[in-house]
Amino acid sequence: MATIRVSIRLPHLLLIPSGEYPTPALGGSVHLAVDTLSKLEGTPQTRASSLFEARNADDADSTERQRTGEADRLLRRVNFLLRWHRVVTKQMALTEVTRAQASPFYFSIEGTSEAWGSDEPLKFESFFPSPPTGSQATHGEEVRKGLATSADPDVARLNLLDAEYALSIGRFREAVLLCWAAIDSTFNSKFKAIVDDRVGDEWADGLKFLKGMDFGLRHKMTIGMRLLTGRSLFKVEPEGSWEEISTSYGQRNKIIHEGQVAHEDDAKLAIKAARTVLRFVEDLNKERTEPSPEAGG
């Protein structure tokens, strides 16, 4: 069984000595060293690496799965170290890194220069590889329409863009919180409006309960919406969307109430959940504004 070193070049030089840094919370350790090539180029960067034992694999797919798993394991250790480095050095701009920022991941058999698993390093694509769609003329016209309203863009949409940017620069916890700020504001505003519209003449204390904190957000999204509109995020397509929303909501609560950190996949899940909820609310708005067939001439 071979011992393999997986390594990455960080996008900056860390202000701590080279050497071994144990990461007991995540198991194993991270070895730091100044990257030789970057030093020669005059822009020194830190290279981070760790060791693992290669499993005996009969096929290339199994080896590739291990490479991907070990890349993620190294990245989690590195981001754990970066959080501590950021606090100790007070470098506010030195944030955690995404898979794409850390790519490529190099795998070599320890003690040799021989690549392991493949001659090609492992690379991850950016979460936002696609350029903006549409023409300049179209964008210009839409901007003019927006300006003519004298109103700012929807805050939830801005929050979602902020969350996507936060993910792209490794600020995973902020991405989760920004997504849930977008969800909370958009969904709760819509839910309160529906309550007032459908049962606004009901008992005041009952309305206060429906619209208040005692009737939890996930209850409003599911049974509350089902009773009021016949629609529920529990039944939203595609299948599995509710589980994603609920899991992300739990992560949001752990960040706020327990100070838990977030990882890249948590941020991606929150963005996916936010898009689902905002699309759900948009569909409800369309149903309210589109004329019914009976209203036609």
105 and 163 housed in the same domain: no
Q: Give pTM, 2 decimals.
A: 0.88
Task: Write down the H helix ranges in 212-292.
Answer: 217-219, 225-229, 241-258, 264-289
| Domain assignment present for 127 | no
* pLDDT score at 30: 98
Do 38 and 102 lie in one domain? The reply is yes
Tell me if 297 is assigned to some domain.
no
Q: Are residues 212 and 89 in the same domain?
A: no
Q: Is residue 48 part of a domain?
A: yes
Q: Is residue 204 part of a domain?
A: yes
| Domain boundary residue, one of 77, 109, 141 | 109
pLDDT tens for 6-46 read 999 999 899 999 999 999 988 899 999 999 888 778 889 99
Position 190 in a domain: yes
CA distances from 78 to 21, 37, 48, 293 (A): 10, 20, 7, 59
Structure tokens at 96: 């955690």
What is the residue range of 277's domain? 152-290
Q: Give the model's confidence band at 294: pLDDT under 50 very low, under 70 low, under 90 confident, else very high.
A: very low
Structurally, the chain folds into a number of domains equal to 2
238 preceded by cis ω (within 30°)?
yes
Q: Other C-beta atoms within 10 Å of 72: how many?
A: 16
Give the side-chain half-sphere CA count within 13 A for 161.
7
Q: What is the mean pLDDT of residues 207-224?
A: 94
Mark which of 54, 80, 109 sits at the end of a domain: 109
The domain boundary residue, chosen from 83, 109, 135: 109
Which candidate, 174, 154, 155, places its Cα nearest to that of 164? Answer: 174
